[in-house]
């Protein structure tokens, strides 16, 4: 559970249930600075003149806000739309794309007007009827660390459980999932966990739970009959990488219960980065050992008009062949959604 160093309440957020719940949960904790903003200038209330310090202080900050505007961003191929409940993440993964997307907004922000957000989700569902509409709850966030005192995911899962054509999914590295275990989700919510080798977690995934704790949390959700999946990402090629990823798959298989309600899904994503991401990462983590040598990559433009440095095609094929072969050999009831 995320315990912030400071909480910034934007105007009128205490008029909402989630805002009031957060205030009541932390109001007796003298170690937390509670600030009610009059002008909604978030950055003015987070210390740090330079990005290195601002990033670290931002990661200790919870902003309580209100979602303005009703248009949702699309979210292909993961879903049809982003569901803008939360932005930001408490982790400090050195490779994370949020270092670029939210480079000047490293704090975690919860939108308290969840009724408005879910009402707009229903409008999108109605507009696509009778087609199924899928919403992604973690396109720019990891929503789990603040769930124990917001219950925003719980309310969202309950909303989609009563939706005829709406479905919800999100991904996490965190384990604060107790409030989700006894919801009658009616198979409308898919929860995925991001996994990686112990080497990658130790070297690059700062302030995140261990591999064992993530797998344990996923087993509890599987036992609660949630559709559950695993994103193994980002895949790094290093000495003995195949052995390490094989052991990861084997450890997961040995941990899974014998009886599973839904096929386990896999999404496999190789490491890639943009030049802007590299520049920001170097500023935030000046001693990083992330493999970001352009001479070892190929440059390719993506669907959003900017280029990324990818592993060469022959190495991508090697990754694809390895995971297809090993997942097929180790698992029975599974679906590989993609390997890229």
Q: Which pLDDT tens digits describe the chain residue by residue (340 residues)?
A: 999 999 999 999 999 999 999 999 999 999 999 999 998 899 999 999 999 999 999 999 999 999 998 899 999 888 999 999 999 999 999 999 887 777 789 999 999 999 999 999 999 999 999 999 999 999 999 999 999 999 999 999 999 999 999 999 999 999 999 999 999 999 999 999 999 999 999 999 999 999 999 999 999 999 999 999 999 999 999 999 999 999 999 999 999 999 999 999 999 999 999 999 999 999 999 999 999 999 999 999 866 667 999 999 999 999 999 999 999 999 999 999 999 9
CA–CA gap between residue 256 and residue 203 (Å, rounded): 26
CA–CA gap between residue 16 and residue 107 (Å, rounded): 21
Q: What are phi and psi of 319, to 5 degrees?
A: -60, -45
Residues in CB range of 160: below 8 A, 6 or more apart: 135, 166, 167, 168, 185, 188, 189
Q: 67 lies in a domain?
A: yes
Full domain range(s) for residue 190? 6-339
Q: In angstroms, what is the C-alpha Rg of the chain?
A: 20
Give the number of domains in the chain: 1
* 135 in Cβ contact with 168 (< 8 Å): yes
Q: 1 lies in a domain?
A: no
| 178: nearest Cα among 224, 110, 231 | 224
Q: 270 lies in a domain?
A: yes
**Dmax of the chain from CA atoms?**
59
Q: 148 lies in a domain?
A: yes
* 308 in Cβ contact with 314 (< 8 Å): no
CATH number at residue 86: 3.80.30.30
Q: 99 lies in a domain?
A: yes
């Amino acid at each position: 559970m995320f315990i912030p160093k400071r909480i910034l309440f934007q105007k009128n957020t205490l008029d909402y249930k989630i805002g009031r719940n957060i205030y009541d949960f932390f109001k007796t904790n003298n170690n937390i600075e509670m600030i009610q903003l009059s002008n909604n200038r978030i950055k003015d209330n987070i210390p740090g003149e330079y990005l290195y310090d601002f990033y670290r202080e931002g990661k200790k900050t919870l902003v309580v806000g209100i979602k303005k505007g009703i248009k949702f961003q699309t979210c292909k191929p993961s879903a049809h739309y982003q569901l803008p409940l939360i932005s930001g993440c408490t982790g400090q993964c050195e490779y994370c794309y949020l270092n670029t997307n939210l480079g000047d907004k490293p704090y975690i922000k919860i939108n308290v007007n969840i009724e408005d957000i879910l009402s707009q989700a229903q409008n999108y569902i109605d507009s696509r009827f009778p087609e199924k509409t899928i919403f992604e709850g973690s396109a720019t966030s990891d929503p789990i660390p603040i769930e124990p005192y917001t219950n925003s995911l719980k309310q969202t899962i309950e909303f989609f459980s009563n939706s005829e054509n709406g479905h919800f999914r999100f991904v996490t590295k965190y384990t604060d999932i107790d409030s989700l275990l006894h919801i009658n989700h009616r198979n409308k919510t898919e929860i995925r966990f991001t996994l990686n080798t112990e080497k990658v977690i130790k070297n690059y995934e700062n302030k995140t739970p261990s591999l064992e704790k993530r797998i344990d949390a996923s087993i509890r959700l599987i036992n609660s009959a949630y559709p559950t999946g695993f994103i193994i990402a980002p895949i790094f090629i290093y000495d003995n990488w195949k052995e390490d990823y094989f052991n990861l798959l084997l450890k997961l298989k040995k941990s899974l219960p014998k009886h599973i309600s839904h096929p386990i899904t896999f999404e496999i994503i190789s490491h890639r980065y943009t030049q802007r991401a590299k520049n920001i990462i170097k500023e935030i983590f000046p001693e990083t050992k992330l493999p970001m040598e352009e001479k070892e990559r190929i440059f390719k433009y993506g669907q959003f008009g900017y280029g990324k440095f990818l592993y060469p095609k022959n190495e991508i094929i090697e990754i694809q062949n390895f995971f297809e072969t090993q997942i097929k050999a180790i698992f029975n009831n599974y679906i590989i959604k993609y390997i890229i």
